[in-house]
């Protein structure tokens, strides 16, 4: 329906009116033909619905004709309004075009009315660049002055750079000195620690020596000689001669496994150190427990005083 209306609106007024009348007449003929068909048709049965009177059908057809006529009138009114809008826009465009055409004349009138003013303005414009060039010439520095200023700026920059480099080198030297001082302090701390360790070891040795000396001083030499008889089968104490075992000359304070010509066990050789009073007491108590896997076939002296006495006897017969 909407497309039919759009096609209808594109037609001119006379064509629209002709088609509206044709449509109305066609509708009226259709209605009249329907009424005639109903009036001349076969008779209706008693149960068929009652048809409306012909007059009412004619009235309905007339109302449809009026509706179509109203639609046609509305379309004509829209067409008239569209034509009015188009004519108004056309008039505005013509007016604008006329104004554009009239502008050159107005410009010519203005030029004719004030030629002197235009000439003065042209003169001012021509003189303005000359003044500007003069000012630029006066304000522009001479090439020699620019070179001198640039040289001064470069010299100042070089001086600043030299000062910064000197400051950086000074800071680097300070850091190097601080590092050297820190390293020296660390070395001093290590030296002090080593000295303390040596001193502690010496102190311990002195304490052990003092303890050993006190033990030897408490020994009974005669009882020690009696205990020595258990050792005399394999060892001698008064000559550097190896028999069933290495000689025990100056055994107190001697290095472990140090008798020349004797083949010591690996366990005793790897033990190292020296025979102090404390280590000899532990060795004589139970050799296998003190240094396992040694070759000495001796079960040990269980009595502590016997061990002290025999060590006192050996120390009393030193040869050095």
User: Model confidence over 211-220: pLDDT tens digits?
Assistant: 889 999 999 9
Confidence of residue 198 (pLDDT cuts 50, 70, 90): confident
Q: pTM for the complete prediction?
A: 0.40
| Higher per-residue confidence, 318 vs 86 | 318
Mean pLDDT of 159-185: 89
| Higher per-residue confidence, 281 vs 82 | 281
Radius of gyration of the chain (CA): 71
Is residue 267 within 8 Å of residue 294, measured between CB atoms? yes
Residue 302 pLDDT more than 70? Answer: yes
Phi-psi region of 319 (alpha: psi -120 to 50; beta: other; left: phi over 0): alpha
Cβ neighbours of 113 (radius 10 Å)? 10
What is the distance between the alpha carbons of residues 2 and 8, in angstroms, rounded to a whole number?
10
| Higher per-residue confidence, 269 vs 130 | 269
Residue 16 pLDDT more than 60? Answer: yes
Residue 175 pLDDT more than 70? Answer: yes
Cβ neighbours of 250 (radius 10 Å)? 17
What is the distance between the alpha carbons of residues 95 and 250, in angstroms, rounded to a whole number?
144
Q: What is the pLDDT of residues 114-127, one digit of tens each?
A: 445 444 554 454 44
Q: Say what the pLDDT of residue 75 is.
A: 52
**Least confident piece of the model among 75-84, 132-141, 237-246:** 132-141
Residue 40 pLDDT more than 80? Answer: no
Summary mean pLDDT of the chain: 77
Task: Select from 61, 52, 68 the least CA-distant residue to 8.
Answer: 68
Q: Say what the pLDDT of residue 59 is.
A: 63
Q: Say what the pLDDT of residue 251 is.
A: 96
The token duo for 66 is 């009026």
């Amino acid at each position: 329906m909407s497309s039919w209306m759009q096609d209808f609106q594109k037609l001119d007024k006379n064509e629209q009116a002709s088609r509206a009348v044709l449509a109305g007449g066609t509708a009226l003929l259709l209605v009249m033909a329907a009424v005639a068909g109903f009036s001349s048709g076969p008779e209706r049965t008693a149960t068929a619905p009652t048809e409306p009177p012909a007059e009412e059908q004619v009235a309905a057809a007339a109302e449809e004709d009026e509706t179509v006529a109203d639609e046609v009138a509305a379309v004509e009114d829209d067409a008239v309004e569209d034509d009015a809008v188009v004519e108004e826009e056309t008039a505005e465009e013509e007016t604008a075009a006329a104004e554009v055409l009239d502008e050159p004349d107005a410009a010519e009138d203005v030029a004719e009315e004030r030629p002197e003013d235009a000439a003065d303005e042209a003169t001012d414009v021509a003189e303005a660049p000359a003044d500007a060039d003069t000012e630029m010439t006066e304000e522009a520095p001479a090439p020699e002055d620019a070179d001198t200023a640039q040289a001064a700026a470069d010299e100042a920059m070089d001086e600043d750079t030299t000062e910064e480099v000197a400051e950086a080198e000074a800071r680097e030297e300070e850091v190097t000195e601080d590092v050297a001082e820190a390293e020296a302090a660390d070395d001093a701390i290590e030296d002090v620690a080593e000295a303390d360790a040596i001193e502690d070891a010496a102190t311990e040795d002195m304490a052990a020596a003092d303890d050993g000396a006190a033990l030897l001083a408490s020994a009974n030499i005669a009882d020690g000689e009696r205990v020595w008889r258990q050792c005399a089968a394999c060892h001698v104490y008064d000559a550097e001669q190896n028999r069933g075992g290495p000689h025990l000359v100056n055994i107190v304070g001697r290095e472990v496994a140090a008798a020349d010509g004797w083949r010591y066990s690996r366990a005793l050789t790897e033990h190292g150190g020296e025979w102090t009073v404390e280590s000899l007491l532990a060795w004589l108590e139970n050799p296998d427990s003190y240094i396992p896997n040694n070759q000495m076939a001796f079960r040990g002296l269980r009595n502590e005083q016997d061990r002290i006495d025999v060590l006192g006897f050996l120390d009393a017969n030193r040869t050095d």
